[in-house]
Structure 1
Amino acid sequence: MPIRPEHRHFYPIDWPQLSVAIRFGRAGGLCERCGRPHGRVIVCVDDGSWYDADGGVWRSGRGRILRRTPDLASARLTRPILATCHRAHDTSLNGPTDLAAWCQRCHLDHDRPEHIRRRRLTFLRRRALGDLFLGPYPVL
């Protein structure tokens, strides 16, 4: 994932090289959480299960082998892209144990509590600005 210009100063200068080393050197082009391959088209369903063509098995959203074929009514094709992520959400920690190679789905799942927190702050900020400039919002 590209880094926003306003956040660029939080990352080390050699971040692109470090990211490639984690995603393709250590992880071998596979998500370290669920095992999805980088850049290859895979079949997945809404519950996160996906078909591992190399192993010839269906895997859960966490990479475990499924015993039964999932309901394929919601099957779709997708192309996962790996990103190097900070496990502790601290961009100053860039050691091998602090970074992970995750696909978009696993990265969003890991960041969900932070996204919920930011969404709440945005809502409260907008509500406060509405009160300041436009008067109180109507109660629904």
Structure 2
Amino acid sequence: MPSRPEHRFFYPVDWVQLSAVIRFGRARGCCEGCGRAHGRMVYHLGDGRWWDADAARWRDGWGRRIRVAAEADILGSARRTRVVLADAHRDHGTSNNADANLAAFCQRCHMIHDRPEHRRRRWRTLFRRKALGDLFGSPYA
């Protein structure tokens, strides 16, 4: 579901069912960006590299196999995260719910995908705050 209540009405009534079909039907419970499985605890290094327990290999942020240098402190720097899949609109338009426009992404891949949109919204919010401050003669809050 959308993170803000005012955005809830941009989604169809059957969004929960549609989301489940994409995440667990088409994507089979794995991220379409990096391949992480839904609900699993994964060890990661914070820069996108993560341990794939099924293949017993390290993978990069896009799911490709990599080699990690054997460092003495690699396990001390690894963190654990539970993977949660969410649906993302590839074109950022919530009205376009075609199968080709929806993707099942983990948290990391979803944030990377939405980064340009988040930057645009942040700029617009700051611009609006400054405009209101100029209009009403108050400091920018």
Q: TM-score, normalised by structure 1?
A: 0.88
Query: In structure 2, what residue type is equivalent to 1:89?
Result: H
Query: In structure 2, what residue type is equivalent to 1:109?
Result: I
- Check the 8 A contact 1:49/1:70 in 2, yes or no: no
Query: In structure 1, what residue type is equivalent to 2:38?
Result: H
Equivalent residue, structure 2, for 1:111 = 114
Alignment of 1:51-70 (within 5 A): 51-69=51-69
Cα distance per residue 1:3-44 (max 9 Å; x no partner): 533222221121111101110111111100001111111100
Separation in structure 1 between the aligned mates of residue 2 and residue 117 of structure 2, nearest angstrom: 19
Equivalent residue, structure 2, for 1:86 = 89
- Check the 8 A contact 2:38/2:83 in 1, yes or no: yes
Separation in structure 2 between the aligned mates of residue 56 and residue 92 of structure 1, nearest angstrom: 40
Deviates further, 37-46 or 64-73: 64-73
Equivalent residue, structure 1, for 2:46 = 46
Deviates further, 121-130 or 75-84: 121-130
Equivalent residue, structure 1, for 2:105 = 102
Separation in structure 2 between the aligned mates of residue 27 and residue 17 of structure 1, nearest angstrom: 14
- Computed over aligned residues only, the root mean square deviation of the Cα atoms, in angstroms, reads 1.9
CA change 1:96–1:57 in 2 (3 A) is same
Cα distance per residue 1:43-82 (max 9 Å; x no partner): 0012110000001100001111002347625310000100
Q: TM-score, normalised by structure 2?
A: 0.88
